[in-house]
Structure 1
Amino acid sequence: MKTKLLCFLCVTLMILSCNKENLEVHEELSSSSELLSKKKKAKTEKAETPDDSDCKACIVIDADRDPWGAIEPAGNFWWSLDNTNDWNVPSTYFASYGDGLTFTECHDGTAHISGTSMNNNGCKVTIDVWLKDKKSWAEWSADGGGHKKEGTAGNASNSEEMYFYIIDSEKSTIIAEGNCVDYQNNDITGTYSVEQRPDPNDDSTPNFGVHVGPGGANFDSNIGAYGLAGWGWLTDNTGARVWPIDFNFRIKCPPPSGGGCGETAYAIGNSDDEYTCFTDDPTLNANRWGWTIKMEETVGGATVKTFDIYAGAGQCDVSKGAFVGTATATYENGTVSIDYNLADGASLTEEHFYAGTNKYPTNKKGKVTLAPGQYSIGTGLSGDIYVIIHFGGVCTGGSTPDAG
C-alpha cells in the first residue's frame, strides 16, 4: 500500500499542487526510510568493532624464558634482527615498556594485542595486532591446523585446552621507533604490517596459528599458567616479508575487585595419603599440576567428602595459588556427584570432573590422559575410586581459607 501511495503522490505532484496533508505523509515516509538506513549502518558498524561489554581486557606478563637466562632475557615479543635464527641474541627480545601490552578477547571470535615493548638497545615497538577466527582444538585440527609445542611450558601443554586464532593481516601493524637497527647496524624504524607465519594458506607448510590457553606461553617456566604463543612476519609497504617475529607471554585478567582470571584450578584432598599430585607420580612423567583424590566406598551408604579448591598452584604448591572455594564429592549408588561453592570474588567458566576405579582417566585409545576435556564420571563403580575436580577460566578475588 505504501508503494501505491507514493506513486499516487508523485503523479499528483506533477499535475496538481499537493495539499498539506500529502506533504506531511511524504516527509514522514522519508524520515522513516532515513531512520531505517541509520539503524542498518549502526548495526554494521557494531559488527565490525565489538562493543567493550563484549570484550575482556587482560594484562600481558613477560615470559621468563627459563632456563636460558641472560642469552634469552624475559620478554613478550621477539624480532629476528638478521632474518634467521638469532634467538640467542639478547637484543632480539622485547619486554614490557610503559603500560606494557594488553590482550583483549571478544565474544565475536576476535582478539587484540596492543601496547608497547622495548629491547635493551632502546628500540620501542608499538604493537597493534588483531587476531580472528577463534577455534577450539577440535575445529582447528579438523581444518588441518597444528599445535606448536616447544620450550618449557609448551611441551607440557594440552592441545584440547587451547584456542587457536589467525593474525588478521588487513588490520595488524607494528611501529618501530628509537634505536632500531639490524645486525649490520641499518636503521629499521618504520611501520610494518603483520602476517601469520607460517602462511595458513600454504598447504606445504604447517598451520600453527596463534594458540591461547594453559601453558600457552611456550617459553615460560610457570607450567600450566594461562598464556599465548604466536608467529608472524613483518611486511614492508610492498608486501614483502622482511622480518620474522614471535609472541610469547602469560596472560592475567584482573577482575574489578582485584585478583586474577584465566587460571586453572583443582581440588586437593584433605590428607597426604588421600591425594597424589600429577607431577609427583613417577608413572606419569607429567608436567601438568593437579591432584587425583582417593575415595573409599561406604557400604550401604554414601561417602561424602569436601575438598578445598586452589587456582594457579603450579607444581601443586598451594602457597603459590589462591583458594577459590570448596567442592563436595558424594559417592553412592555406583557413581559420583560433585557440588561446589566459590569464595567471594571468585568465578569460573569451565568445569570438568572425573570419577573412576583407575587413578587417572584414559582417552579413546585407552591411554592415560590428564586433559580435562577427556574427563567423565563413571557408573557402576564399586570399591575404592579416584576423583579429579578441575575448573578452567577461574577468576580469583585474592581470598584465603578461613582460619580454623
Structure 2
Amino acid sequence: MKKLNRIIPLLGIFFLISSCSTEEAASVNDTFNNVHSLEYNSGAVIVNSCKPEPISLCGGVNYVFWGLGTFWGGYNPDHNQLTYTEYEDGSVNITGSFNDNAGKQCTTTVDVWLINPKSYADWSSGGGMAHIPDNTCSNVNPEDLTYYLLDETRSILEVSGCIDGYEDRNGAYDVLHSPTDLSKGFQIGNGGSLFDEGSNLGLSGWMKLVHQDSGETWDSDFNFLIPCEPEKELECETAFARSTDGSNCFIDNGFSRWGWVLGPISEGQYSYEIYAAAGQCDINKGELVGTVDVDYNDGDVNVTYNIDNGYMVDETHTYAGYDMFPTTKKGKATVAPGKYTIEENLSGEIFVIAHAVVCK
C-alpha cells in the first residue's frame, strides 16, 4: 500500500492599515514579472477551507484587522465573517467581511488572492527577505515560513457604512503588494502571524490600499489564525484493467506481480473494468474502482481511465503493442508500469495493459 501525504497546515493572517497620504500608489505589476514569475490556475481545486480566528496582539486586544486610521476589526465571531481557502495549485483566497469595533459601524469586505508559494530558500534567492518586526511575540523562524505574492489583478477591498467622521473611508479600494520591490511578502507558517504568543500556524502580510475615487492610500496589514483541520492521509493502491473472463494474468505468464493483459484486440472500441488491490489477480480481494475505455482506430490507441467518485488518480501507465508484454532495453519481457509505452502506427491485433494508482 502506498500512502500519499497531503497535509494542509493551519494558517493565519494579519492586516494593518497604519498611515495615509494622498499620493498615488505605484503599481507593482511590472515588478512581479521582474522578480518572481506570476503563476496560478484560476480553476484550481479547493483542498482546504475554514473560518479564521483573531489573534490577541501579544496578549492585548483581539482582532483580525487594524486600519483606516484608528479602528480594529473582527475582534469577535459576530464581527468576523471571513473565509480562508487554499487551492491545489498553491494559491490562497481570503474572502468575506468583518466589522470594526470602534463604533464607526464600518463593514469591510475583502477578496484577496495570494499566489506563488515559495520556500525561504527560493524566496531569499530571488532577493526576498522575511518581515519580522522587533515587537513580534510569536516564536517564529524565517526558514519555517512559506512566502507568497499578492495577486493585484484579482484582489479588491470595499468599505461601507462608516459614520462619525469616517465617511471618507467608504468605497472600493485597489489592493497592491507592499513593498513594491517585492522584498517582503505574505508569510505563512508556525508563528507566521507574528503577534500571537507562541508558535501557532498563522499568516502575516502587507499591502497598500488605493481608494478608487479619491486616490487616497493606506498602508495595510492583515493578521489572524486559521484553524483548518489537516487533510487526511490518503491511502493508495495499484490498479489494473481486466477483461471479462480474467484471462492473461501476469502471474500465469511467469511474473511475480499481479495484473492483466488485455487482448489480443483488433481495431474498435472496448470497455474494461479496473480493479485495485486485487492481489494474485483475485478480484474478491480487490475493489472495483471504475472502467477503462480503449479506442483503437487507424493505428492509434487512446485509453481513457474512468475512475469512480471518491478516488483520486495519482498516476497512470499504458502499454499498447504487438507483443503481449513490453520489453526492457535488453529485450526482456517486463510488466513494470514504468516501462509501458504506446507504440505508433499499429495495425492488426495488439495487446494493451492499463495501470493506475488510485487513492482515497
**Greater relative contact order (CA < 8 Å, ≥ 6 in sequence):** 2
- Richer in helix (by share): 1
Greater strand share, 1 or 2?
A: 2
- Taking structure 1 as the reference length, the TM-score comes to 0.43
